[in-house]
Structure 1
Amino acid sequence: MLVYECLRNGTLASFLFGDFKPSWTQRTNIAVEVARGLIFLHEECSSQIIHCDIKPQNILLDENYGARISDFGLAKLLLMNQSQTKTKLRGTKRYVAPEWFRTSPVTVKVDVYSFGVVLLEIICCQRNVDMEARGERGILTDWAYDCYQQGRLDLLVEDDREALNGMKKLDRFVMVAIGCLQENPSLRPTMKKVMLMLEGIVQVPVPPSPCPFSSIS
């Protein structure tokens, strides 16, 4: 049984996708806190935990907009000698890693992939799949990579002066997200490295295309 503290500001989903865009500083702080929470699950618990359902609806915000990962109903607890597991598809469409659809075992890297999707949603205040968005903007992960390739990251944060005034940070966060979204799990960073890159402590490598194996079923 898990007992949660009272978190007065609801879910990250309602925070990001409401009528008013939250500040860039708030959003980036939340991203780092979610990364820190995943580090705890992956590396600091006595038994490694794969959450399996990282999405804005499962991230709660306290009165100071501190982030807490919640809803462990689909989580997978690994044994002490395990680093991977085979299990049926878990998670929410639009956030699940490609390996869930294959016969290969899953690792904590499925959470890294989901975090990459959430990170883009935090950056853009847009849902990953938005049927009302114009043209290529409807699939956020694809559009974000196109903007990155074209050197037009400003399009991801339109009218967000605070984000536009800190383009180096915006560039760093987008590159980290693309790194997390690599189709090959071995190319995704660990959550520890993700946090260090988000904080600017470790340099972010130039990410390759996230879907080089898209023809693989």
Structure 2
Amino acid sequence: MNDARPPRGIFITLEGGEGVGKSTQIRLLADALRQRGLEVVETREPGGTEGAEAIRALLLGGAADRWNAQAEALLFAAARADHVARVIRPALDRGAWVLCDRFIDSNRAYQAGASGLADEDIMAAHKIGSGGLMPDRTLLLTLPLNVAAERAAQRDAGRADRFGARGHSFHEAVSAAFLMLAAREPERIRIVDAADSAEAVSSRIFEALGDLLS
């Protein structure tokens, strides 16, 4: 009897500020991978499970000052712990590709880089809650802030969430934090210019995943 376990799946995250097109690119990438016969799980953070989606509503709704940075970080860590345990790890264990719209690097950019917490504290909470799970590849979509703000405004139709509604200086700090993380971890985090058509950006994403697809 062959009881060999299937090879571990591949964990891909898409990151970036508001309005860079992460959701669109996850859909396009998932379609392309399924055409290759791969099992693909599409998910998002915060969210992905019933409990994590409930925490998402708490995090994204309400006034800008509803939570301070410390409370936000702990809520994100709690949502992720459930998401990793119930969705991400089981999918990876059965050999699936997991595509996640945001993961730990968003917390590192938003709560540490832009909100003043220490990166090591964010990572410590991640280690406790999610066993320190990191993506195999992170695709950082980038756009000039003014272009991203216009796209986000069109998407949100005047109903931005607590993070999207923050001012230009906050989003500038988020963008700088993402780029700093990419400079620190170039093997994992690949920068993808998201300024062109969805199809052109999708092609760049596939290029950035070439070694994992071979």
TM-score, normalising length from structure 1?
Answer: 0.30
Q: Which has the higher helix share?
A: 2
**Greater length-normalized contact order (CA 8 Å, ≥ 6 residues apart):** 2
Give TM-score, length-normalised by structure 2. Answer: 0.31
Higher strand residue share: 2
